[in-house]
Amino acid sequence: MDASDIEKDLSKIHYTEDQILAKLRELAGRIERDYEGKDLLMVGVLRGAVMVMADLARSFGRHVEMDWMAISSYGSGTKSSGVVRIQKDLDTDITNRHVLIVEDIIDTGLTLSWLVSNLESRKPASLELCTAFVKPDAAKMAVPVKYVGLELPDEFVVGYGLDYAEKYRNLRCVATLAPHVYS
Ligand SMILES: Nc1nc2c(ncn2[C@@H]2O[C@H](COP(=O)(O)O)[C@@H](O)[C@H]2O)c(=O)[nH]1
Ligand SMILES: [Mg+2]
């Protein structure tokens, strides 16, 4: 499969790599200022947040620690099931640590709400959220998200870490997946 075959699977490109990087650098600047003088532990949510975490972390001019959790709420479909399962837990004890959860995208917010209550029970010194992308339903979330990146419509998107059945994660842009791919 070459690049033009992949393009046929996309119905609309929402953000290019440059636009995504510009937004992440802006968020990284805010995070750096807010955590000045504090040890920061960024917790990336596998697997979608890999690209976001890498680009955020490389935008910092300071040390930052990273750990990862793998949780699943989607399976291979296109809507959150609401049933969250830990596939890989943190290797770090986050008690008394300043923790920033790094997500790829928030849709219903079910995944993050679950993760926040799970991590809060481990008694971190602080716990904040950062997401690269947000869909309209996220506005109804009970949990406040301090660092929010780019808005997307209520459509199933792929690229920049986001997959459909484990494909398209390595696309540099974020795009709506054409319905013919999953219908
Ligand atoms: N590939 C895509 N994954 C998506 C999309 N919208 C959400 N997600 C994944 O689900 C969780 C969060 O969902 P939520 O409904 O619980 O907020 C998110 O971290 C992604 O991994 C999408 O459009 N494409
Ligand atoms: Mg995710």
| pLDDT value for 81 | 60
What CATH number does the domain containing 90 carry?
Answer: 3.40.50.2020
In a domain, 86, yes or no: yes
Scanning the structure block, which residue is given the tokens 């209550």? 117
The pTM of this model reads 0.93
**What separation in angstroms does the CA of 101 have from each of 5, 107, 115, 140, 166?**
34, 16, 9, 19, 22
| Structural domain total, the chain | 1
In a domain, 140, yes or no: yes
In a domain, 102, yes or no: yes
**What separation in angstroms does the CA of 158 have from each of 58, 88, 166, 177, 178?**
23, 23, 10, 6, 10
In a domain, 12, yes or no: no
In a domain, 119, yes or no: yes
Asked if residue 179 lies in contact with residue 11, where contact means CB atoms within 8 angstroms, the answer is yes
User: Residues 5, 107, 154, 163: which is the catalytic one?
Assistant: 107
Extract the residue ranges of the chain whose pLDDT is less than 70: 1-3, 74-82
In a domain, 3, yes or no: no
Range of the domain at 29: 17-155
Report pLDDT digits (tens) over 107-130.
Answer: 989 889 999 999 999 999 999 999
Q: What is the rounded CA–CA span in Å between residue 139 and residue 109?
A: 9
Asked if residue 179 lies in contact with residue 158, where contact means CB atoms within 8 angstroms, the answer is no
| pLDDT value for 88 | 96
Instruction: Indicate the top mutation candidate among 9, 78, 83, 107 to test ligand 1's pocket, ranked by most ligand atoms within 8 A of CB.
Output: 107
| pLDDT value for 137 | 79
| pLDDT value for 141 | 76
Asked if residue 82 lies in contact with residue 51, where contact means CB atoms within 8 angstroms, the answer is no
In a domain, 59, yes or no: yes
| pLDDT value for 2 | 64
Q: What is the rounded CA–CA span in Å between residue 180 and residue 183?
A: 5
In a domain, 177, yes or no: no
**Catalytic residue flag (residue 67):** no
